[in-house]
Structures are given as C-alpha cells and as structure tokens.
Amino acid sequence: MDGISINLAQQADPKGAPSTLRIYGNDTYQTKFRRSRPIDAPRARYTGFKNETITLRSGTIRREGALALTCDIVFERDVAVTLRDGTTIYADIFRPTGDEKVPAIVAWSPYGKQVGGMSLDDVPHRVGVPLSATSGLEKFQGPDPAYWVAQGYAILHPDTRGAYASEGNVTFWGRQLAEDGYDFIEWAAQQSWSSGKLALSGNSWLAVSQWYIAAERPPHLAAIAPWEGLADPFRDMVNRGGIPNLASTEAVIATCMAGNTFVEDMPQMAIDHPTINEYWEDKVARLDRITVPAYVVSSYSNPVHTRGTLAGFRSIRSKDKWLRIHNTFESPDYYNPENVRDFRKFLDYYLKGDKNDWQAIPRVRLSILDPGHEDTVNRPVEEWPVPGYPVEKFYLHADQTLSNEPTTTSSNLSYETETENSRITFTHAFEKKSEVVGYINLHLWVEAIGSDDMDLLVLAEKRDKDGNVLPNAAGEASSTTGLLRVSHRALDPDLSTELEPRLTHKKEELLSPGQIVRVEIGLWPTALRFHPGEQLVLTVQAAPKAPTKLDLGFGVAKIPVPARGGTFKPGEKVEIIELGGGIDSQPEFVNAQRVETPASRNKGTHVFHLGGEYESVLLVPLAEVS
C-alpha cells in the first residue's frame, strides 16, 4: 500500500496500548484503549496510501450512475499535516484550479477520507439519497466536492488522529480531538490556495466534532454547521438516564473505524466509570465558549443526536446562529438540493463576504410532525424552545387514562419485569386540534419489589383515534422517549427546569424495601400535532437491555472505484476494483474486544403509585390551534 504496511498478528496483540489521554486539567488521565480494526480488513474499504496531485476533469465520474463533475478539480491526496505533538495525519484536498485563494469546508471524522468503512450504499435505499445525487467523492455524511468546488470552495477530508494511515490513536470527543481540529484548521489557513476562512460541516460524528473544535476558538474558523450531533456522550449516548447503552458505540468502533494503532475504549470507560467524573466532564462540549456563526440542523427522531443538537444551539454564545429542525433523516436532509442551496447562502455570507439576503432568514425554522395528515416544514418562530406553549398537566389515573384533573384517591399499577408485557400505557384523546412542541417531563412515584433499582423507558407517542401507530415522514413511530435508572434520580437544582430535569449522575442511591420515591424523567423534545379524536399515548416500561454485538452492516456493500484512483469518463473502460467485505469478514479480535452491557437492574415487580399524596403527572407544552 505504498509505504503503509499492516501486520495482523501485531494488530491483535493487546500489548503496547497507550494508557493515558489528554483531557482538560490533566495531561495524563488513565484511559483504556483497544486495538483498531486493521486498514486492510475488507470492510475498512481502504483505497490505499498515495501522495499525489492530479486534476479531476469536468464531465468525469467516480462511478457509473453517480453525479458527474461540472468543473475541473485539483485533487491532492494523502497530504501530511503535523499536529502540535508531532503526530502526522493525512488529508485529501479537493479545490478549484487556478490561483484564486478560496475558503474551505472541513469534514472531521475517523471514518475514512475516500470510501471508508461507512457509505450510504450500506443502508437500504441509500436512506433516500439517490446515487445520482452525489459524486462518490464525498466523505460519509460530509459535503460533496463535486458541488462545493464548483461553487468556489475547497473541501478538506482529514483522516483524523489514528484513522487509517494517520499516526496516533483514535480518540472520542474531548480535549485531544478539539486541539487536533484547531491545529488542522490553522494549518489549512496557511496553505497557498487558502483565503484564510474555514468552516466545519457534516452529519453525526462530523457534527459532534464541531462543538469541541469550535470551543477551542481557532482564529481562522469562520463558521460551523453541525447537522445533528450530540454534545454530551454520557447523557446522550452511553449512559442516557444512567442506564448503560454501549451498543451504538461498540458498533461504531467495530464496523465504522479502522487504523494502524488503537482506539479509545469508551465502552470500557463507561463500565469502569458509571457516574460522572473528570473523564466524562472532558466529553461535555464547552458550548459557552463558541461564538462563531452557526447553522444548526436537527430532527426530533434521532435517538442519539436530538437532545445534544438542540442543547448546542441554545447554549452557544454566537451572536449569529440559526436553527432548522426538519422532519426526515439527517442524510437526505443534508443532501437535499434546496437545503444545500440554503446552506450555501450561509457560507457565502460568512466565508466569502457575499452581500446576499442571509440575514433575513428566520433565526429558527421548525417542523411540526403531523402523521396521518401533512407535516408543517420550515415554520418560522422566535426562538427555541418555542414560546407560547403553556405547560399542560396530564395526571396518570388507575384506569390508565391521562386526565387534566387530579384524583385524591391513592392507587397503584404494576407489572412483572421479566414478562413480555412489562409495561403500562396511559391514553388521552384530544377533543380539539392541538400541538405539543418542546420538552416533556414525567413525574412518577415508583417502588421496586424484589430489587434495589429500576431501569425505566418512557415513550410518548401520537396514535390515531383507534389507537393505531401513525408513522411519520421518516417511516417511524411519531414518538419521543425518556430513560432513567432510578438510582440516578438526583437532580441538579440549579440546572433543572419545569420541563427539563437535569440529572447529576454523581452517585447512585439504591432503593430500600418498601421505599417509594419520586422521580422525574425528561423526554427528548418533539413537535406533534393532534387532531380531534387522536391520542397521546404514554407508555412506562422496563427498559430493555441493549446487546453490544450489534453489527450495523457498514463496510459490507461493494463499492466500485477506479483502480488508478481519481475519476473517468462515463462509459470509459477502466479497471474497476470493488471495496467491501462480507458480514463475517471482520478480524476475530475486533469482535472479541467488545464489552458486554452490564446486567439490567430490572427484576421482580415495578410498582407505580398514583393519586393522592403520590401525584404522578405528565407535563406537556401544549396549545390549541386553529
């Protein structure tokens, strides 16, 4: 592979793993690492290492059926970048021809800068993004060079620390990633082709990284555009509500990343440190340090990104910030031509100084989900959370209804946790057309029989008048969820609000036999419209244990690329290689390193006390609409 060699036996050897990580306030924090999946594993889909500069010609393609280039593109491959600690990472650069200095957009992730371990082809129907909509030169969930170079931008694809041929070890978010991003941006700003103005863009990991890098305040970072990305891995992903959920993180490490060295073992750190400590504090994005212009995009349906994206928008101190909440999935929204043009107007304003009408765009645009009818998209509002939605109280009654009227009679409902029917539902049918917009909070009085803890999942969803689930535009149930391990029930009184309880996660408070405690379970934000007769259904259930053997199937699709690299003319006979591997082609040690999700705290009986002194109530931001 042109200077990059791999020894699989050495890769599987656990010896030599680093033991410390730079976090804020500690340069040598004790941290677990594991061996990365090797870059010559079939599902890593590595195109090889080759330092070269070529011109990709207008009209050529990366693969048959993909979007053709509309201009010549200078493609600099495997460009070395030295970080402050001497580590070398490698980047691909796509930029316009000629001598004009141009702004640049950075796509920051460890998923590979050409093809890599993740591709839309791995997902059924490419999640609604047609092959013809992108060129195939784009990084997974990043900006497409075929479009952006034609608009006068450079696109930068770094393989971040430890990814593929880059030196060092892959780290999850926090100080090390933030400082690396700072160094890369400042390096790029000094290149001969650079105008000195850079932006960050992309979905998921590419979005998450932006909160951390922007908080370091690199002088040449002119704007960010986080398109759905968490801001607190402990609360948003691996330990939401205090319940360990390592499935998605394990799947990302095993099936989405590859490198020559090691990767930070965040799942093991979640096992070793199940409450908030300095390691997890390092992973909380320092949002209040961000002041650059921001174009923030969210949805209500992402099980990892929704809360953090909206928290990011609310908490950053940027004077110029915009929020758009869509009604589909992140990838089709990101590549939707109308949204790309909208985003381009933002970048043209802040990176090129164009005097367009961007400042007239509403600061907040949201969607109202209305499954069974028609969603409202891009409704302009004053701010988020949206003002004007009074808090409605729905009391939980023993007849499993939600009522605006409390009851003075005490009662209880229960289920056995180890049965298929370990849940209770409560229903409210609307008499008038109404909207629920914002954050929801459930106050419950709970008791465990046969256990000293409870793992609870709460679901609020819209159903039709007959109680049938109504899928939204993304094809999913129109719902929002909340999670809580009852021993993590302690609230931060300074940060908690009526609709948003903030858990401290500093310690566990186990239950005693017969003890009844009040808990608050915050549900992630949503926006749902209800028509007369339609139902709001609240489900309280034993949270299921998420297995860590999840394989998302990334790296399996066979992606054709020209063997010589670059692009080719449509119909031209060139040697094509296919990158990708079978579902079982993972090196054995990769899956052997996965950690098991800790045992559920659920056993025995969950009892929920209602009425009288045990006022269990659902707080909902709700308004009647015409």
pLDDT exceeds 50 at position 383: yes
What's the pLDDT band for 550 if we cut at 50, 70, 90? Answer: confident
What residues are paired with 622 via a beta bridge? Answer: 436
Nearest to 352 by CA among 564, 198, 556: 198
CB 306 within 8 A of CB 526: no
Match domain 391-546+600-624 to its CATH number in 2.60.40.10, 3.30.56.10, 2.60.120.260, 3.60.20.10: 2.60.120.260
What residues are paired with 366 via a beta bridge? Answer: 379
Give dist(CA 495, CA 163) in Å, integer. Answer: 37
pLDDT exceeds 60 at position 462: yes
Interval 49-86: pLDDT, tens: 999 999 999 999 999 999 999 999 999 999 999 999 99
Question: 563 by DSSP, 3-state: which?
Answer: coil
Copy the structure tokens of residue 530: 């209800």
Question: Under 8 Å CB-to-CB from 13, ≥6 apart: which residues?
Answer: 35
Give dist(CA 361, CA 378) in Å, integer. Answer: 11
Q: Which residues of 144-172 are buried (b: 16+ CB within 10 A; e: fewer)?
A: bbbbbbbbbbbbbbbbbbbbbbbbbbbbb
pLDDT exceeds 70 at position 194: yes
Length of the chain, in residues: 626
User: How high is the mean pLDDT of the chain?
Assistant: 94
pLDDT exceeds 50 at position 9: no
Interval 12-21: pLDDT, tens: 445 688 999 9
Q: What is the per-residue pLDDT for 7?
A: 36
What's the pLDDT band for 423 if we cut at 50, 70, 90? Answer: very high
Interval 106-139: pLDDT, tens: 999 999 999 999 999 999 999 999 999 999 999 9
Give dist(CA 345, CA 505) in Å, integer. Answer: 42
Give dist(CA 555, CA 6) in Å, integer. Answer: 19
CATH architecture of the domain with residue range 8-361+551-590: 3-Layer(aba) Sandwich (3.40)
Q: What is the per-residue pLDDT for 333?
A: 95
Question: 428 by DSSP, 3-state: which?
Answer: strand
Query: Domain ranges in the chain?
Result: 8-361+551-590, 391-546+600-624
Q: What is the per-residue pLDDT for 564?
A: 93
Q: What is the per-residue pLDDT for 385?
A: 96
CB 129 within 8 A of CB 141: no
Q: What is the per-residue pLDDT for 583?
A: 93
Mean pLDDT of 159-164: 97
Interval 281-328: pLDDT, tens: 999 999 999 999 999 999 998 888 999 999 999 999 999 999 999 999
Nearest to 74 by CA among 101, 98, 92, 95: 95
φ, ψ at 148 (rounded to 5°):
-75, -35
Q: What is the per-residue pLDDT for 14?
A: 53
- DSSP letters, 204-270, are THHHHHHHHHHHT--TTEEEEEEES--S-HIIIIISGGG----HHHHHHHHHT--BSSEEE-HHHHH
Q: What is the per-residue pLDDT for 8?
A: 35
Q: What is the CA radius of gyration of the chain?
A: 25
Residue identified by tokens 């849940």 is 423
Comparing 133 with 4, the larger pLDDT belongs to: 133
Measured from the Cβ of residue 190, the count of other Cβ atoms closer than 10 Å reads 9
Give dist(CA 182, CA 83) in Å, integer. Answer: 9
- DSSP letters, 502-530, are -B--S---PPPTT--EEEEEEEEEEEEEE
- Which run of H or E residues covers position 311? helix 306-315
Give dist(CA 530, CA 536) in Å, integer. Answer: 8
Q: What is the per-residue pLDDT for 15?
A: 66
* pLDDT cut 70: percent of the chain above it: 97
Give dist(CA 194, CA 76) in Å, integer. Answer: 14
Nearest to 110 by CA among 229, 1, 257, 232: 257
pLDDT exceeds 50 at position 4: no
pLDDT exceeds 70 at position 5: no
Measured from the Cβ of residue 432, the count of other Cβ atoms closer than 10 Å reads 10
Mean pLDDT of 83-108: 97
* pLDDT cut 90: percent of the chain above it: 92
Interval 131-153: pLDDT, tens: 999 999 999 999 999 999 999 99
